[in-house]
Amino acid sequence: MKPQTGAFLEKANELLRQAETMLGVSLNEAAGRTAYLAGFHAAQALIFERHDRVFKKHSSVQGEFARLVKDDPRFDLDLRAFLGRAYNLKAIADYETGAGSHISNEHAAEAVADAVRFVGMLSVFVSESG
């Protein structure tokens, strides 16, 4: 595994721990946003391991990740859709105001659980690929 790949995975796991802490004290918007960012860094790890590239745009990371795993049976539809789904929580947390600006504890908990699965799967996948 390349050092930068390891750094991305380390950051992803750090963000997972933060998201779990935030969830534990009902900081649902922060937990949802951070769950997405954990997945974002894990996806960056895969991209870097394969291409020695770092994408800056969220849409570029999501698109390249989807391309890399589209035919891999280890990534079920739920895992493939995680980044896009979790990005919606990040957008709510960062940009929404008023009635639609809150993330329920249930949605935040689901995002954190999905992020744990996503980061774990990518950690294994990158280790096997390298």
Domains identified in the chain, total number = 1
The answer, yes or no, to whether residue 130 has pLDDT greater than 70, is no
- The pLDDT, as a whole number, for residue 84 is 93
Question: What domain range includes position 24?
Answer: 3-128
**Which CATH number belongs to the domain containing residue 109 in this structure?**
1.20.120.330
How many whole angstroms separate alpha carbon 18 and alpha carbon 58? 20
- Give the model confidence (pLDDT) of 101-121 as tens digits: 899 999 999 999 999 999 999
CA distances from 46 to 50, 69, 78, 128 (A): 6, 10, 18, 11
- Give the model confidence (pLDDT) of 7-40 as tens digits: 999 999 999 999 999 999 999 999 999 999 999 9
Residues in the chain: 130
